[in-house]
Amino acid sequence: MESRTALIYSPDFSKFSYGKEHPFKVQRFRLAYELMEAFELTSLPGARIFDCVPAAESQLLTFHTHSYLSKLKEFSLSNEPRADFRYGLGDIENPVFPGLYHWACLGAGGTIEAARLVTEGGFDIAFNLAGGWHHAHRSRASGFSYLNDSVLAINTLLQKGKRIVYLDIDAHHGDGVQEAFYDTDQVLTISIHESGESFFPGTGSEKEIGSGPGKGFSVNVPLKEHTDDALFMKAFDEVAFPLIAAFDPDVMVTQLGADTFRTDPLTRLEITTHSYGYVLKKLKALKIPWVAVGGGGYENINVARAWTLAWAIMNDFELPPHLPARFIKLISSLGYPNRMLLDAMHWAEDDDRNRALDAVEKSIAAIKKKVFPIIIGAHG
């Protein structure tokens, strides 16, 4: 039976800017949507496109504090540079710009709506391109993230009595989401990311497994730099997939950051569309109601390719390996030389790969020893 899918996208996503020199470019949302259109993925029979409705303050308060939201609103209305480092606002990483609050509420509202669509709207999958702000904390912006949309959406699902798996495949550890649900067994958080030993946000060790009733329900697979496609698939196959299957959630929330790709300027992993697509196809095969959100990615065409591939897989649509001529013409005018949608499987250099393999095997062994007996023992 054909899946019913929802894509959440707003042209307003691209009306704001973090600043000319900031690595996060809002134009990537428009490029992703343009590529989907060029492949005719926005008019598939089982798919619908939804605009974004900003999150209401009452929804934001299920996680964020009054004082933090008040400061976000205040700074959002100002045309002058503002900063308050108690709240993580106004530094190079988390700049303040006019309309910031509305822009952050748009992304958060999109993910909350995605959660509603898969639980009340009759949709199997809902994908919010402008979600995935996994570093935002209760009272502090962090890592380009101001409002933690995944936490807010998961909170709406918990209010309905749902059990949730949150899987994060961004290059950065999903620290804000882990923190929010560290002491509950109703949300299983799994993050596969570049090791925080010398990389932002400095968290996400395999030793972080939750506390109290949540012990065993926070799972981290830190990857050494130069982890390639085969090792990424190994981490997913040996940790994430069996845990998701054993936990058997009511809803699956996935953060699909594309900064794991080998040409991303901020990260040191060596992933391509090969393993990215592999993971998404296995997630689709689970047939769990699925909320997907965007996330990181600092090379715009990588983001467009990754999220277009994700949307195609969600709709069981096979894409050709080359980018469409229409899209090539568009990006050529912007200075991008890309011609391929799909990458061949990539292998890292031997020495780098061996170090990455040793690291991932140690992490997997530790997780199987400490976490598997709790999750698979209770649910398997």
pLDDT of residue 1: 65
Identify the residue whose tokens are 């992304």.
107
H-assigned helices in 99-172: 100-119, 149-159
Whole-angstrom distance, CA of residue 169 vs CA of residue 273:
13
Using left for φ > 0, alpha for ψ between -120 and 50, and beta otherwise, residue 65 falls in beta
Q: Does 135 qualify as catalytic in the annotation?
A: yes
Give the residue among 206, 153, 161 at the shortest CA–CA distance from 180.
153
Whole-angstrom distance, CA of residue 376 vs CA of residue 141:
35
Give the burial class of 364: count Cβ atoms within 10 A of its Cβ; 0-12 exposed, 13-18 middle, 19 or more buried: middle
pLDDT of residue 297: 97
> What fold characterizes domain 5-379?
Arginase; Chain A (3.40.800)
DSSP 137: B
Identify the residue whose tokens are 């882990």.
178
The residue extents of the domains of the chain are 5-379
Count of CB atoms situated within 10 Å of the CB of 161: 8
- Which of these is catalytic: 22, 64, 134, 135? 135
Count of CB atoms situated within 10 Å of the CB of 347: 13
pLDDT of residue 81: 81
Identify the residue whose tokens are 């199987």.
368
- DSSP string of 48-102, one letter each residue: EEE---PPPHHHHTTTS-HHHHHHHHHHHT-SS---BGGGTBSSSSS---TTHHH
H-assigned helices in the chain: 27-38, 57-60, 66-76, 100-119, 149-159, 175-180, 229-235, 241-247, 273-285, 300-314, 325-333, 350-370, 372-379
Beta-bridged to residue 218, according to DSSP, are 189
The total number of residues shown for the chain amounts to 380
- Whether the Cβ atoms of residue 139 and residue 66 lie closer than 8 Å to each other: no
For residue 100, give the amino acid letter. L
DSSP 321: S
pLDDT of residue 379: 65
pLDDT, averaged in runs of 10, over the chain (380 residues): 90 87 92 97 95 96 98 91 93 93 96 98 97 98 98 98 98 98 98 96 98 97 98 98 97 98 97 98 98 97 98 97 97 96 97 97 97 83
